[in-house]
Structure 1
Amino acid sequence: MELDDPGFHHSVLSDFRDRLAEGDRADRLLDLALARLTAAGLVRERTTQRTDSTHVLAAVREFTRLELVTEAVRAALKELARCAPHVLDRCGR
């Protein structure tokens, strides 16, 4: 999105909530989410789930570090392509 993008209108969330409340959509969405979380090994059926978010925060922190490294490499390659494209030409061979 561009920096000057106005984003979405506040009524979008209300409309989405109203559509989700129709019928059993919310229950089906929750069931689907739980099935996928179970398949990924993130939750187990018929057990007590941990509510401590420490492990979640640690995973997010690790992902954030990886994202920062990825962005740094991308920015370096972009600058290299601008300043010395011949260097990148040799890398492709």
Structure 2
Amino acid sequence: MFEKMQRAFWKALTPDMVVDEPKQAVQPVAGLAEDVVAALGGVDNLKSQQPVALSRVRVQLRDVAQVNRQALKMAGVPGVMLLDDGVVHLITGLQP
């Protein structure tokens, strides 16, 4: 509470010197890292997700066209299977 008041005080005195609170572009989803969620098109693009094996996560998306395979690879997801009806299987290997 005190920290918020202190920030507001300094922001009022020097509006261009104090940076606003950083806004988190992607909210974490249970079981999926933020960068993976971002590569899938964000939280709003996710309908559901569930682990189906030690090495796979089944995700249902609203719009499959928003999937960024390169970003998924960089996030540590070595394989992606696009199925019908917006279903995507993320092949994660044995990583937790």
TM-score, length-scaled by structure 2: 0.23
Larger Rg: 1
The structure where helix makes up a greater share of residues is 1
The structure where strand makes up a greater share of residues is 2
